Amino acid sequence: MSFMPGQPVSTVVQRIEIHKLRDGDNLILGFSIGGGIDQDPSQNLFSEDKTDKGIYVTRVSKGGPAEVAGLRMGDRIMQVNGWDMTMVTHDQARKKLTKKNEDVVRLLVTRKTLEDAVRQSMMQH
């Protein structure tokens, strides 16, 4: 949904707790990220004005831990386990998400539309 002049912009903040899936020595989150202060924001599919250097969810694996927890493609990650993610490099974000000693990742994300959040909430109940 793109911004239309004269219309309110709805952003919803969601708290999401992902329990990593253990596969041998690997801990699987089930999603991919894009963005970061070291990346070209014009390549970010989720940046409407092509200047946003935030960390965004670019893929969510079907049936994976992230999908089960409610994470969605296009979510902007604001915090990981209390750490600010608004001004980090792509690699710093990846390292915070994939710490080997953490089985649970608590995210604070923003979503563009209130309508989508309400629709998803209604489907879960």
For position 38, which CATH number holds?
2.30.42.10
| Pairing mode, strands 104-111 and 12-19 | antiparallel
Name the more confident of 4 and 53.
53
Per the structure, the count of domains in the chain is 1
In a domain, 110, yes or no: yes
Long-range CB pairs of 18-25, under 8 A, 24+ apart, other chains included: 18/65, 18/66, 18/69, 18/71, 18/104, 18/105, 18/106, 18/107, 19/65, 19/69, 19/103, 19/104, 20/65, 20/102, 20/103, 20/104, 20/105, 21/64, 21/65, 22/103
Q: Kindly report the length of the chain.
A: 125
Q: Which domain holds residue 50?
A: 13-123
pLDDT of 118 above 80: no
pLDDT at 1: 39
Q: Tell me if 52 is assigned to some domain.
A: yes
List the alpha helices (DSSP H) in 33-113. 65-69, 90-97
Please check whether residue 19 lies inside any domain of the structure. yes
Residue 124: per-residue pLDDT: 57
Whole-prediction pTM value? 0.81
The two three-digit tokens of residue 99, written as one number: 């710490």
Give the model's confidence band at 96: pLDDT under 50 very low, under 70 low, under 90 confident, else very high.
Answer: very high
